[in-house]
Structure 1
Amino acid sequence: MARSKKYFNPFKPSAGAEPPRIIGRDQVVLDFVGALEGGVGAPARLMRVTGPRGSGKTVLLTDLGSRAQDIGWNVVNITAGINMLDDLIHELSPDSSVDSLSVAGNAAIASGEAVMKVKHPNLRALMKRCCGKSKGLVITIDEVQDAPIEAMQLIAGSVQHLIREKKDISLVFAGLPMGVMDLINGKALTFLRRAQSEELDFISLIEVRLSFRDGFAVSGLILRDEQLEMMARATAGYAYLIQLIGYYVWRFADLHRARSMEVSDEDVRLGIENAMTRFHEVVHEPAISRVTKGAMEYLVAMAQEGERASTADVAKRMGREPKATSSFRRSLIQREVIQSPVRGYVEFSVPFLREYVLENADELLDRY
């Protein structure tokens, strides 16, 4: 008896996992690959990618790195953090041992030089050597808002010098919008302000529908137009939700593949329900964890006011003067939980966070 063919879920909602097809980012990819092939000085060789949590920054970095490798470039991927320089040097030269690495003075950006205490070749020398081993060197840095300023000064300074030396090098860094802006506006990081800016907006629902249709079709499962529409709208064009909803609906439909290849309305309902529960756990909860009691009260008042709330009305609902709530608003903006699109107004930065806060207001406030 022949075994039935085993199909694998085409949707990948794990953090940073690369789905079979990335949608909504075609222009970014075209700009980047074109820059690699366009020679030294092409603008998109220096790129900053920003977007809220779950907007697909890590996935995009992975895709750009893979495309660079495919055309013969050496690619080094690191995540920002306290040990990022050690990680970078190890990736550039696995045999190098680093005792310590520090930066002093005006870290190599236009004026001054970075001071490194290492036993082996310095960072710029390592980068230069890697540039010569292939078509060029691409460095990607994720979660750059967590980077120590000294580390970014040294990396940026090394890249700047290599560009001046007409070496084939590219630097792509990604992070939360405010964190990235704070970084590039920091001391001695003027060079990074020249990076081509790519802000990851919400993905067109037309592209989302096509992605769902194709993703299910390759494994023989059939979605009706109204189901595609319901699933697409439920994502709000948010990259991580696209993967979550696709993953759970596909999983429920796959359970009855033997008797029916048609996705049922119940599959869609349960899939969206499970996806939203997971979305709350991995996006909403981390976003609002460890905020102060006053900040949580501000979020609840905001949610009760509507999609876009007047800061004066939020303060009034809290029973406080507007000045007395400014610190709560500021801390939430810094954490990129909310944003201020225009003066005097605030709105939530993450899709469906308002609904989550409204539905769970009593439990959220009871935590304090």
Structure 2
Amino acid sequence: MRNPFKPTAGAEPPILIGRDDVVLAFEEGLDNGCGAPGRLMRISGPRGSGKTVLLNDLGDRARDAGWKVVDVSAGSDFLSDLFHELAPQRELSGAKVSLNLPFASGEVSLVQDEPSLRDLIRKASESSAGLLVTVDEVQDAELGQMQTVAHAVQHLIREGKDVAFVFAGLPMGVADLINGKAMTFLRRALSEELGAINIQEVSLSLGDSFRGTGMDVSKDVLSELAEATGGYPYLIQLVGYYVWQRARIHHDDNPVVTSQDVSEGVSIAMSRFHEAVHEPAISGLGSAAVDYLLAMARDPGPSSAKDLAARLGRSTKSLSSVRRQLIQRQVIEPVRRGYVDFAIPFMREYLLENEEEIRERF
């Protein structure tokens, strides 16, 4: 028996759930031709919300429709990766060859004309049903390079070429990108914000995955598992993986998922979730930012900026830079005027449970 759950970043889960509207818009975009909204899409969501998995799924659907797909992750020089994916032979350009012949010796440079990105995308789109370019982690992209890609795609859409462009990243990163200089084109991209998945849908999906591997699981147990995930895609995979792991131990004697399996599996999953999501989120923060988060954790819901200032013995204005830093790092998010809340599920619980240890470290 093989564990059906995949709690590794970007790994394909057994079933993609809660994203039907995004998939439908994309597939309609491919079918409806140049200019269809689904061919230009921006996807945003917090860490672990399934952005990379969704990009992978959209890429698979485009391939099934006969499209060529190029996937890259943004970084300091992701444009080079894009060029390489579109034209691997481009690395020969400008190469030097040493000669050692009876009548001559030396070096000769092989100079080729450098094709533009627009030319490469045009050629790739014409060699198949179309070309899909996906860019992940766009919050790490250099603005000038994203402008180059956006301008190339925009011109090819104007030419009526079958080109689709989907990019994904953290909400603040995506917002900063589309509001950047000369990024009007990307502001028109169809916006898809990934939130929590409906708990009932999570329960049904977990049940299909467990039963598909020969395990018996009750509705009450599935409901408990689904609630433990908070509808958060990464945690769905973690909880499913470790509860399945515990149930596998006794499967040959008893194929029923027990309450003990749930208790042990959820505990391990939450521990891994803290390590993989919560710890990196607060890593490198200063003491003022950590104090701000711990003050927020005392509230059962969104925190008032005025209440936090009073709690910390500071003025609201003096805390504005701390608040801005935490928002930019996508640890917290503004929910309405004067109020913020945690952007990452279960961050409040993590801070409260580990407050003493966190204060010692920071």
Range into which the TM-score falls when normalised by the shorter chain: over 0.9
Find the aligned partners of 1:330 and 1:296 in 2 and give their Cα distance: 13
Match of 2:267 among 262, 265, 273: 273
Letter in 1 for 2:236: I
The corresponding residue for 2:6 is 12
Q: Residue 259 of structure 1 aligns to a residue in which SS?
A: coil
Give 1:357 shift: 0.7
Q: Which amino acid aligns with 1:279?
A: F
- Give yes or no for contact 1:92–1:126 (8 Å, CA) kept in 2: yes
Structure 2: segments with no counterpart, 5+ residues: 95-111
Question: For residue 77 of structure 1, what is the aligned residue in structure 2?
Answer: 71
Structure 2 counterpart of 1:30? 24
Equivalent residue, structure 2, for 1:61: 55
Match of 2:238 in 1: 244
- Which sits farther off after the overlay, 91-100 or 345-354? 91-100
Q: Deviations over 1:172-201 (max 9, x none)?
A: 000001110100000011100010000111
Q: Which residue is 1:360 aligned to?
A: 354
Write out aligned runs for 1:119-134 (5 A).
119-134=113-128
Corresponding residue for 2:171?
177
Residue in 1 that maps onto 2:140: 146
TM-score normalised to structure 1 length: 0.92
1:143-178 alpha-carbon deviations (Å, 9 max, x no partner): 011110011000000000000110000000000011
Flag structure 1 segments of 5+ consecutive residues without an equivalent.
1-6, 101-117
- Structure whose alpha-carbon radius of gyration is higher: 2
Q: Distance in 1 between matches of 2:313 and 2:304?
A: 14
Give the Cα separation in 2 of the matches to 1:271 and 1:30: 34
In the alignment, does 2:24 pair up with 1:41? no
Q: Distance in 1 between matches of 2:281 and 2:309?
A: 22
Matched-pair contact (CA < 8 Å) for 1:86–1:98: no
Please identify runs of 4+ aligned residues in structure 1 that moved more than 6 A.
none
Q: Which region of structure 1 is more displaced relative to structure 2, 302-311 or 178-187?
A: 302-311
Equivalent residue in structure 1 for 2:150, among 156, 164, 167: 156
1:96 and 2:90 matched? yes
Q: Which amino acid aligns with 1:264?
A: T
C-alpha contact (below 8 Å) 1:231/1:245 kept by paired residues: yes
**C-alpha separation in 2, matches of 1:66 and 1:347:** 35
> RMSD of the TM alignment (CA)?
1.4
What residue identity is the alignment partner of 2:306?
A
Partners of 1:61 and 1:177 lie apart in 2 by 16
**Does the CA contact (< 8 Å) of 1:78 and 1:142 recur in 2?**
yes
Q: CA deviation at 1:346?
A: 1.2
Deviation string, structure 1 residues 46-71 (Cα, Å, up to 9, x no partner): 00000011000000000000010011
Once the two structures are TM-superposed, the CA of residue 306 in structure 1 deviates from its matched residue by 2.8
Q: Aligned partners of 2:299 and 2:62: how far apart in 1?
A: 47
Alignment match, 2:256: 262
Partner of 1:201: 195
Contact 1:98–1:119 (Cα < 8 Å) also in 2: no
Aligned length: 346
Q: Which has the higher strand share?
A: 2
- Counterpart amino acid of 1:277? S
Q: In structure 2, how many angstroms separate the alpha carbons of the residues matched to 1:98 and 1:231?
A: 54
Larger displacement relative to structure 2 (261-270 or 310-319) = 310-319
Map 1:248-327; keep pairs closer than 5 Å. Answer: 248-327=242-321
Structure 2: which amino acid aligns with 1:33? E
Identical pairs, percent: 55
Q: TM-score, normalised by structure 2?
A: 0.93
Q: Is residue 9–residue 247 contact of structure 1 (8 Å, CA) maintained in 2?
A: yes
**C-alpha deviation, 1:98, in angstroms:** 8.2
Which range is displaced more, 319-328 or 37-46?
319-328
1:131 and 1:137 in contact (8 A); partners too: yes
State the 1:304 CA deviation.
1.4
Could you tell me which residue of structure 2 aligns to residue 105 of structure 1? none
What amino acid is aligned across from residue 165 of structure 2 in structure 1?
L
Offset at 1:119? Answer: 4.7
Residues 98 and 143 of structure 1, relative CA distance in 2, 3 Å threshold: farther
CA distance in 2, matches of 1:261, 1:119: 64
Aligned match for 2:46, one of 52, 75, 80? 52
The DSSP-based 3-state class of the residue aligned with 1:210 is helix
Verify the 8 A CA contact 1:149 1:183 in the aligned structure 2: yes
